[in-house]
Structure formats: structure tokens, C-alpha cells
């Protein structure tokens, strides 16, 4: 690839979405005969290397992933060696190594001090390799430095190193965003567990106690259901599960609630067998069922029915939880789902937030309700989720 093409391509990298990079990389990898001119083929090669480096930069600028990133960045820049330095001066080097690590540390110190790219002449002990260093800035703060070694360092490589540093900064920032989203999802899950424990556990134990003398066998069965429910709800492994596993926990929950409600609680399940293996966020359906019991049926004197349905909807599995209870005002529901403070229906709001975090703004709950008309809650999850495999307990 010539220097002019390289500089032009790298100048555009910061604004190209990762999905485009992957699509173009795939096309390049297939070796299609219609890749176009030499310049277009050079652009595809550069995009391919960028797409290979991207995931390794999301984990930060040190460690095994940084080693892989440096290898792809050296191929992208076409330089003799590339060094990536984190903010603690940890050096990840790919290429000729004699004397370059210490040189990279000195270069990085000067680049950080100036806050801009710099070109460095060749010290004799590095085999006449010149260098260009560029800061990796996230929100204006230097988090690392990219150093490219070549003989000689041409103008195109100087520009390219700066663009690569900016692109690395974007990947590091995306990695930080992904980590923050994971932490937020974990916090939401902890909130759900905290919400389950005080209300449900008290009622479940009270119901079990009421059968100890009158029906010991029923009490024993309820204790086992309670154990299954709590083991599932408070497990530590995995943010995802299968619909089948979640339905098992829901069965235990409803058996314990039937001990309280008796015949006033009726349950209907319509579960398509092909949907049982669908991967869903852990504790995403069970809180909807609990919400239906607590806020739909419990306020009414006559109890009611809960219907749980799952069906194949093409690329998605659709899951519905419906009750014929008291319902609520639609305006009140909208205020509830956007409220920040704690209050009633926290499980409903929490599940909606988590679904949007995982599947995007269009992946939240759809709720149909009205005062006195019951409530229907619908969620749709993709059937193919290769990055969300449930962990074994």
C-alpha cells in the first residue's frame, strides 16, 4: 500500500462504524475478484487490519490483548515496529526489539508532556530507526501513547500515527463504556434481588409455617420449592439464563404464592417447546410474574388469573405475562417506567431498563394496561445471541 493511500484511509477511520469495518473485512477475506482498483484494495486491507485490532483495544492498553493489537497496528501502519504504552509506561511492542522498549518509554514521556505528536531522529543504538509518537487522548486526558518506528519516518506515517492514536482512543473509550454498562447491569440485578428478598421471603415463610401442623407433607414440599427459588434467584454465576430455567424458578414462586392465595390464584401456561432454549437476561421474566401477583391480583379481593405465554416469532421469541387484575392508569405507568426514585413496581422498571441496556432502546417492555382492565407485559428477545451464552451454576 502506498503512503498516500494509507494516510487517506487512516484519516477516515475515526468516523467509520465498526459494523462497516467488519463487513468490508469479510469481503476482503473472501478474496472477491471485484475488489476494484489498487487503491480500493489498499483501503480494504487497512480496514481489515483495523477491524482485527479493534476488539483487542477494548480491554485497555496493557496485557495479552494489547500484544495482539500491536501486531495488527504494525501491519496497518507498515512500520518496522509499533509500541503501545499505557499510562503506567507498560510497553507492548511488536517488531524489532533491540533497544526499542527503553526508547519507546523516553518518547512516550516527551509526547505526554507536549500533548501532541512528535517525530524523533534515530539514535544509533536502534539501528537507525526513526520514530513518531502520538498521544492516545480520552476526553482530553492522555491514557497512552502509540509509537511507530521506521526508516525513514515519512510524512504519511506521521499523519497515520496520529490518526491511529485517535482511533485507539475511541476503542479504549468504547471499552470503558462497555465496562460501565456491565457494572450498571450488575447493579440493576442486585437491586432486583434486594427487592425480592424482604417482601417475598416473609410471605413464603409465613405460608410454610401455616402448614407445618395441619399438613406437614405440604409444608415439606413448600420448603423444597422455597429452596429451589432462592438458590436460583441468588445464584452468583451468569447474567443470562434460558427461558426453561427461568420458568422453573417461576413454578417454585407460584407454588409458594398458591399456598397464600389458594384457589384465588389461577395460572395458565402456553409455552412453545422450541422457545425453551431461548437465552434471556437472568431474572427478567420472574419479576414480571411477581409484579402481576403483587400489583395486579393481590389488591383485589377475588384474586384472578395469570397467563404466561411464549411463542416463536421468527427471529425472536415473544414472552407475555398477563393478569386480569386491577390494572393501572397508562399515564401512571409511563411515569413509573421513567421515574428515578424507588417505589412500587420497581421490578417492572428494573427489567425494562436492563432489556434496553442489552438489546438497545427498542428492546424494552411493551405494557398494555388500564384501570380495572388487567395488565399485559410483552418482551421480545433475539433467538440468536452468541455473546450471551448462559453460564452453568
- pLDDT at 346 (0 to 100): 61
- pLDDT at 183 (0 to 100): 56
pLDDT greater at residue 236 or residue 303: 303
Q: Comparing C-alpha atoms, which of 98, 99, 105 is closest to residue 84?
A: 105
334 touches 345 (CB < 8 A) = no
How does residue 11 score in pLDDT terms, banded at 50, 70 and 90? Answer: very low
Place of cell 470503558: 176
Select, from the ranges 24-38, 134-148, 245-259, the one with the highest average predicted confidence (pLDDT): 245-259
Tens of pLDDT, residue by residue over 215-259, are: 999 999 999 998 988 888 777 666 889 999 999 999 999 999 989
Res 276 pLDDT > 90: yes
Res 204 pLDDT > 70: yes
Q: Report the range of poorest mean pLDDT among 22-26, 315-319, 367-371, 380-384.
A: 22-26
Tens of pLDDT, residue by residue over 161-196, are: 888 888 788 877 777 665 556 555 555 555 555 455
Mean pLDDT of the chain: 78
- pLDDT at 342 (0 to 100): 52
pLDDT greater at residue 294 or residue 190: 294
Residue 62 has φ and ψ, to the nearest 5°, of -135, 165
Sign of the CA dihedral running 74, 75, 76, 79: positive
Q: Report the range of poorest mean pLDDT among 39-43, 104-108, 142-146.
A: 39-43
259 touches 208 (CB < 8 A) = yes
pLDDT greater at residue 58 or residue 207: 207
- Three-state secondary structure along the chain? CCHHHHHHHHHHHCCCCHHHHHHHHHHHHCCCCCCCCHHHHHHHHHHHHHHHHHHHHCCCCCCHHHHHHHHHHHHHHCCCEEEEEECCCCEEEEECCCCHHHHHHHHHHHHHHHCCCEEECCCHHHCCCEEEEEEEEECCEEEEEEEEEECCCCHHHHHHHHHHHHHHHHHHHHHHHHHHHHHHHHHHHHHHHHHHHHHHHHHHHHHHHHHCCCCHHHHHHHHHHHHHHHHHHCCCCCCEEEHHHHHHHHHHHHHHHHHHHHHHEEEEEEECHHHCCCEEECCCCHHHHHHHHHHHHCCCCCCEEEEEEEEEECCEEEEEEEECCCCCCHHHHHHHHHCCCCCCCHHHHHHHHHHHHHHCHHHCCEEEECCCCCEEEEEEEECCCCCCCCCCC
- pLDDT at 359 (0 to 100): 87
* Mean pLDDT on 143-153: 88
Res 4 pLDDT > 60: no
- pLDDT at 197 (0 to 100): 53
* Mean pLDDT on 102-112: 88
C-alpha cell at 221: 414440599
Contacts of 364 (CB under 8 A, 6+ apart): 352, 353, 355, 356
CA-to-CA distance for 148 and 100, rounded, in angstroms? 10
- pLDDT at 68 (0 to 100): 80
Place of cell 503512503: 3
CATH numbers and ranges of domains, the chain: 3-173 (3.30.450.40), 212-382 (3.30.565.10)
CA atoms within 13 A on the CB side of 343: 10
Amino acid at each position: 500500500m502506498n503512503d498516500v493511500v494509507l494516510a487517506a484511509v487512516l484519516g477516515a477511520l475515526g468516523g467509520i462504524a465498526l459494523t462497516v469495518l467488519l463487513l468490508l473485512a469479510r469481503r476482503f477475506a473472501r478474496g472477491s475478484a471485484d475488489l476494484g482498483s489498487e487503491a480500493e484494495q489498499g483501503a480494504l486491507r487497512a480496514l481489515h487490519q483495523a477491524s482485527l485490532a479493534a476488539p483487542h483495544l477494548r480491554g485497555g492498553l496493557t496485557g495479552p490483548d494489547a500484544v495482539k493489537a500491536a501486531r495488527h497496528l504494525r501491519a496497518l501502519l507498515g512500520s518496522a515496529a509499533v509500541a503501545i504504552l499505557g499510562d503506567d509506561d507498560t510497553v507492548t511492542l511488536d517488531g524489532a526489539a533491540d533497544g526499542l522498549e527503553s526508547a519507546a518509554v523516553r518518547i512516550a514521556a516527551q509526547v505526554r508532556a507536549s500533548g501532541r505528536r512528535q517525530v524523533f531522529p534515530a539514535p544509533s543504538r536502534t539501528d537507525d530507526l526513526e520514530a513518531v509518537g502520538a498521544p492516545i487522548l480520552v476526553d482530553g486526558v492522555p491514557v497512552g501513547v502509540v509509537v511507530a518506528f521506521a526508516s525513514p519516518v515519512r510524512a504519511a506515517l506521521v499523519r497515520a500515527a496520529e490518526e491511529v492514536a485517535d482511533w485507539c482512543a475511541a476503542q479504549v473509550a468504547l471499552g470503558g463504556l462497555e465496562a460501565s454498562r456491565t457494572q450498571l447491569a450488575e447493579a440493576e440485578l442486585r437491586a432486583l434481588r434486594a427487592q425480592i428478598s424482604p417482601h417475598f421471603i416473609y410471605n413464603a415463610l409465613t405460608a410454610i409455617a401455616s402448614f407445618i401442623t395441619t399438613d406437614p407433607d405440604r409444608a415439606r414440599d413448600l420448603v423444597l420449592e422455597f429452596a429451589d427459588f432462592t438458590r436460583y434467584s441468588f445464584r452468583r454465576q451468569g447474567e443470562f439464563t434460558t427461558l426453561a430455567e427461568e420458568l422453573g424458578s417461576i413454578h417454585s414462586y407460584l407454588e409458594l404464592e398458591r399456598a397464600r392465595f389458594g384457589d384465588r390464584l389461577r395460572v395458565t401456561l402456553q409455552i412453545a417447546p422450541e422457545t425453551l432454549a431461548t437465552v434471556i437476561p437472568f431474572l427478567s421474566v420472574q419479576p414480571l410474574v411477581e409484579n402481576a401477583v403483587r400489583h395486579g391480583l393481590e389488591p383485589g379481593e377475588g384474586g384472578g388469573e395469570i397467563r404466561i405465554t411464549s411463542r416463536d416469532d421468527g427471529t425472536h421469541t415473544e414472552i407475555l405475562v398477563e393478569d386480569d387484575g386491577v390494572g393501572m392508569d397508562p399515564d401512571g405507568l409511563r411515569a413509573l417506567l421513567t421515574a428515578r426514585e424507588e417505589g412500587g413496581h420497581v421490578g417492572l422498571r428494573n427489567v425494562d431498563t436492563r432489556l434496553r441496556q442489552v438489546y438497545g432502546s427498542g428492546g424494552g417492555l411493551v405494557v398494555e394496561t388500564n384501570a380495572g382492565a388487567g395488565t399485559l407485559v410483552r418482551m421480545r428477545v433475539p433467538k440468536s445471541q452468541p455473546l450471551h451464552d448462559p453460564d452453568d451454576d
